Amino acid sequence: MARVQFENIYKRFGKVEVVHDVSFDIKDKEFMVLVGPSGCGKSTCLRMVAGLEEPSEGQIYIGDRMVNGVDPKDRDIAMVFQNYALYPHMTVFDNMAFGLKLRHYPKAEIKKRVEDAAGQLGLENLLKRKPKELSGGQRQRVALGRAIVREAQVFLMDEPLSNLDAKLRVETRANIIKLHQRIQTTTIYVTHDQVEAMTMGDRIAVLNGGVIQQLGTPQDLYDNPANMFVAGFIGTPTMNFIPGAKVVGEGDLTKLVLEGIGQIEVPAELAKRARDAASRELTFGIRPSHLEDATLIGESSTRSSIDGTVDVVENLGNELQVYLTAGGKSLIATLDPRSRAVPGNKIRLYVESDRIHLFDTATGESIF
């Protein structure tokens, strides 16, 4: 097992730069997720660790060894691909044994490792089958098994769940987490799905346009997004953004005024940051779950609230997903089911003022 380091990595294909100055340090045994929209450079980063691409600039380390120029087969990594690429004419056993046979492991050792891995993945009874006789989830487990038997220092997984249906994705996701808890191999996991990233990662690196936007624990990214990209990418339903927020001071009190929509009291500990940013164009941010029907809150609610008109109410039983329009902006609020939100009616939403966010509209950078 080993740590993996990227030091100022750039990758260009011809003149096009697809990875810009990416640095990170993945700790031994850590489960690191690279997440970001399609084309942001996730697979390219992973392929550089695997040795399938060489960086244009910068160094990659696996353990203490700089691996630039090292052949993929000498890097001691195991990779699971999106399309799991099983050999159709081979049994499950032979698919899992293939990499070990290539490396001339003794027969008894191969048998032991394959049987161990099959046990861990619940494949014991399927070893004689061919891939076409397996379900999607079983095939996925064989692909994982093929990686596990190698007992490599680092696992690389590129969207390994993307071919599975929703239920199986959730199940397999949990299996991969359990597996990692047991064998603790350093893992780099690539996905474009923020829920996968949040549920699986010890830490998450959010990539956009080949640049790391933020690297942190799932809770860090959720609570303290570094910019509007991360704020909008992490969390479902996505954060509401209202541009044109004005910082107004009234004695000791600092407020954010959203013209025609409402106003929010800025908590004392954030007041200075808000006032310092007052001359900039600002965008207010609030997550749907940090809004509530003001009639359910009482007195204090009027001090921090947003007024809108309800468009659609979706009742999920434990909560209402309410789509509304406020000052011409579409917003989403996740409300208590006791809310009487009715399509076409006005609604006042209480804003949890200690969960508010403020961004520089021009740069997207977070002020808090």
Ligand X SMILES: Nc1ncnc2c1ncn2[C@@H]1O[C@H](COP(=O)(O)OP(=O)(O)OP(=O)(O)O)[C@@H](O)[C@H]1O
Contacting positions for ligand X (CB under 6 A): 13, 18, 36, 38-44, 192
43 near Mg ion, judged by CB under 5 A: yes
* Separation CA 50–CA 155 (nearest Å): 9
For residue 290, the partner it binds in ligand X, Mg ion, none, with Cβ less than 5 to 8 A by kind, is none
Backbone angles phi, psi at 162, to 5 degrees: -70, -15
- Residue 37 CB, shortest distance to ligand X, in Å, is 7
> How would you class 122 by CB atoms within 10 Å of its CB: exposed for 0-12, middle for 13-18, buried for 19 or more?
exposed
**Partner in contact with 119, chosen from ligand X, Mg ion, none, beta carbon below 5 to 8 Å by kind:** none
Distance (Å, rounded) from C-alpha 253 to C-alpha 267? 9
**219 contacts which partner out of Mg ion, ligand X, none, CB within 5 to 8 A by kind?**
none
CA 23 to each of CA 4, 213, 276: distance values in angstroms, whole numbers, following the listed order: 10, 11, 31
Q: Smallest distance from the beta carbon of 172 to ligand X, in angstroms?
A: 18
**Residue 114 neighbours by CB distance under 10 Å:** 24
Question: SS3 string of 220-236?
Answer: HHHHCCCEHHHHHHCCC
- CB of 210: closest distance to ligand X in angstroms? 7
Picked from ligand X, Mg ion, none, the partner binding residue 126 (CB below 5 to 8 A depending on kind) is none
Nearer to ligand X by C-beta: 13 or 87? 13
Write down the least CB distance from residue 38 to ligand X, Å.
Answer: 3
Burial readout 246-273 (b: 16 or more C-beta within 10 A, e: otherwise)? ebeeeeeebbbebeebbbbbbeeebbee
Query: In the bound complex, what is the minimum distance in angstroms from residue 176's beta carbon to ligand X?
Result: 18
Number of amino acids touching Mg ion (CB under 5 A) = 1
Nearer to ligand X, 36 or 201 (CB): 36
d(CA 276, CA 331) in angstroms, rounded, equals 27
Please state the closest distance from residue 42 (CB atom) to ligand X, in A. 4
Residue 353, binding choice from Mg ion, ligand X, none, Cβ under 5 to 8 Å by partner class: none
Q: Does residue 117 sit in helix, strand or coil? A: helix
Residue nearest to Mg ion as judged by C-beta position: 43
What does the binding site for Mg ion look like in residue numbers (CB under 5 A)? 43
